[in-house]
Structures are given as C-alpha cells and as structure tokens.
Chain A
Amino acid sequence: MSEDREILRELWNGQVPVHFVLSSEEITTVETPQPYFALVPRQTYFPLCLEKVNRHFLKSTSHAANAEVWLDWEGTPLRLHYPVGVLFDMYANEGILPWTVTVHYTNFPESELIHLPSRDAVEAHFMFTLKEADSLKHKNTLVSNMQKKDHKQLWTGLLNDRYDQFWAINRKLMETSTENPFFRYIPFRIYQPDKPFIQTLVRPVDEEGRRLTLEQLLKRTLPDASDRTVKIQGIRVPEQTPIQWLSEHFSHPDNFLHICVLDK
C-alpha cells in the first residue's frame, strides 16, 4: 500500500467548481445578488463549507443569520449528508462547468432531506458512517477500541483539511497484514440517478481466494446494467481493479467507496 500513497494525497486534494445562486424565492432586496463561486473539496460535506456562501447571500435576504441552508440542483434537493464529490459526480457529471446549485434558507424539504443543522450533527453522521465501515472491514472493530482523541483527530483532520493529521489515524483502519491481507467485507455504496443507493455484503475475495474486481462487484449488485460509466472519486476507474485495493486507496474519509454508476 505504501507505494501508492501519492494517490491518497491526490484524491484528498480533489476539488470541484461550484456556482452558488440564491433562490429567487429568498431574495428580499431590490437588486439580485451576485452569484458566489467556489472550489469545494470533494471529501467534505456541504454543511461544513457554506459559511462564506451564507455571509454573501444573507445580505440579500431578510432571513435570520442562523437559518438552515439547503441546496438544490435543477429542482432536486441535494442530500447534504453525502460527500460533495459524490453529489458532483451524480448531478454535474459531464455537464457545463462550474456546477450550478441553488441556495435556500426557507421551506426545508423535511420529507426528503436529513437535517444537519450543526457541526455536531455532521460529526455524528461522519463518525457513524466510519464506524459502519469499520464494522464491515474488521471482525473486531478498531474504532470502538480507539481513544476518544483519535476519533477527534479523524474528525478535525477532515474538518480542517489536514491530510497528515487525518491519515495518522486512518492508516490504522486501512492496514492489512500478510496473515490478513483482506478486509472482511468492503464498505461501498452504489449510486444511480433517481434510485436509492445500494449497499450489500461483498467480500474482497471469492471462495477460491481470488481478488474480486470492480467489474465482478458490479455484476453482483447490478446484474442488469450494461452500457454505463462508472466513477469513483470522479475518476473512471478501470473495472479490472481489485476492490480491496480500491477500498484502501479510493475510499472517502468515511472509509466507504462511493461508486457512481451513470448511463453512458
């Protein structure tokens, strides 16, 4: 794994260009506010990086400064608990860049979106997902045996964009040995347009001990899909890649492989 370490840093630094526009329903001033452009890290969650966006738009709306913000893309509310990179790959795809999203401060669509009103909420969601991945990968979970300060370090590493701080702890969750070269199950989620994500139990090796590839994982979970584009971290990964390797190198900070399957 150490030879491929550069890939980890490259992926960590991935960003996507976003064009934020205030919803016309929110505007209470005479002038239409200027849009706001930003390069947003793929690995983060929108609720963590909208401070500047809010400051920019709240001049144009009479809504309270602590109003809960939500976003939509062409009318589809964005699930703010998904990593930014996943949302981008699903909705922006090969379309016009930068990716345009609309900002709202009222009428939060409660039946569709989970509330993440504070940093504590995002932290709880992140840690919960991380523990889920840990439970899938290791028979005896590692995260629950870590000290509280190590949990905090994972979170603050993500929050403050500190690659070294994050990976100092995360490497323990990605470690394998010669006796145990594989994770128990691979944590992954498959996203398709207008469908709920798919998450099932898949081992990184078959009964004969051969490494399972991305192609084989997709065959097991999406037997009917044929003509498609498959992206992980915004990259069209070769489908012959073993999923054990992908799990170690292409996972998001939550330790999940977020796989986007789109029509060609």
Chain B
Amino acid sequence: MMLRGLEPDSEALLWKMVSVGEYRDAIHSFLKLCSGAGEEWTPFEDDMDETRLMIVKKQIIVVGEGSAVETYDDVNSSPVDTNIPLYFEYHVIYNQPFSVPQLLFTATRPDESLVPLSALHEWVPQSLISSHSGDQGKQYLWETLTQIEHPILHRPIYALHPCQTSSFITQIRKFSK
C-alpha cells in the first residue's frame, strides 16, 4: 500500500545500480508523471551536493476494525471516528554506497509517538517472508525493514534495505494484485 504511486519504470531502477545522473533523471520524470496524476511528492535539493536530491510524500492511513485499511492524502478528507489515523511520510533518496534509490519512511500516531518497528513487522504478511522460516524469518524482517539514521536529515527513520527492496516490492506487487 505504501508503494502505490511508484510507477512500473522505477521498479527497473531497483534491480541494478544506477548513477546519480540516472537517479536524478528518473526522479524528475517521476515528478512530472505525479503532478499529472495528482500525487503529491515534494522535491528537496541540496545546492552543494546533487546526490542529496530527495522527494517526500505524506499520507494518512486509517487502520480500522478488523485491519481494514484506507488511505487519504489530506487530513480534512479522512473521517473523524473511532478509526485510528496513522501519519506516514515517505522519502526517496539516493543511497550512494549502494548506488540505488532507497525508500525511507516514518509512521506516527496522532499523539506524535512513533509506530514501533515491531508493529510494522507484524503488518508484513506471512506470505512475503514465507521463504524464511522461524528465527530466520524474524531475522529477515530485521534485515529488510529497519530503523536507521537518515543519511541526509540524520534523525531516526524506517528504511527498506536497498538489497532487499526489489524482491520485497516484487512480493508486494504479487500480493496486492
């Protein structure tokens, strides 16, 4: 669900190493596509360093009874009821050591507290980690979806490990169809 909005073209990028130039071109194309489709991604540039181009999107996901999930882009349009809204903020950055784009995100509750990583791990459907059993499955989760120091903002943020991103996303696409 969090990956709705990543166009098919960007999936190809996640399979191989990309140069900074290719990353920047892909991001600019992606932004053009998004503005046409009404998707709100905001770019941030560092004048001193072109590798630090980052795009950010905010989204509200409402977790209802029985894990029904709906998404909203605007806080004013989400229903005010017993369902709990969670505030997600997605960042796409260029991971220089691995030479690939990387997806980072925060997930906070209405009281501004962080949704714990353990809760996020629980949301990952079993089918995505089914090839790793028992303890290995648990470790696979820690290696795939972790909390890191944001390479640009230097504060805690959740991250999809670059090496696992392509296989993880493939599984999600299969699952969400």
Contacts and interface: CB of A to CB of B under 8 A. Distances in A.
Nearest to B118: A117
Interface string B111-132: 0011011000000000000000
Contacts of B15: none
Contacts of A110: 113-114, 156
A197 B154 contact: yes
Contacts of A135: 97-99
A55 B166 CA distance: 43
A144 interface: yes
B147 interface: yes
Nearest to B98: A135
Contacts of A161: none
Greatest chain A CB density within 10 A among B96, B98, B113, B142 is at B142
Contacts of B116: 115
B147 A114 contact: yes
A246 interface: no
Interface in B127-177: 138-139, 142-143, 146-149, 151, 154-156, 161, 163
A42 to B, nearest CB: 20
A114 B148 CA distance: 7
B97 A113 contact: no
A249 B96 CA distance: 24
Interface string A139-183: 000001000000000000000000000000000000000000000
Interface of B is mostly: mixed
Interface residues of B, number: 22
A115 B147 contact: yes
Contacts of B142: 120-121, 123-124
Contacts of A111: 155-156
Given A120-B138, A135-B97, A135-B98, A128 B146 contact: yes
A93 B113 CA distance: 34
Interface of B: 96-99, 113-114, 116-117, 138-139, 142-143, 146-149, 151, 154-156, 161, 163
A19 interface: no
A193 to B, nearest CB: 14
Nearest to A79: B149
Nearest to B116: A115
A111 B155 CA distance: 7
A211 interface: no
Q: Which 9 A-B residue pairs are closest in the complex by CB-CB distance?
A: A196-B154, A124-B142, A132-B97, A135-B97, A114-B156, A120-B142, A136-B97, A110-B114, A114-B147
A201 B97 CA distance: 8
A120 B141 CA distance: 10
A131 B163 contact: yes
B154 A128 contact: no
Nearest to A121: B142
A113 B154 CA distance: 10
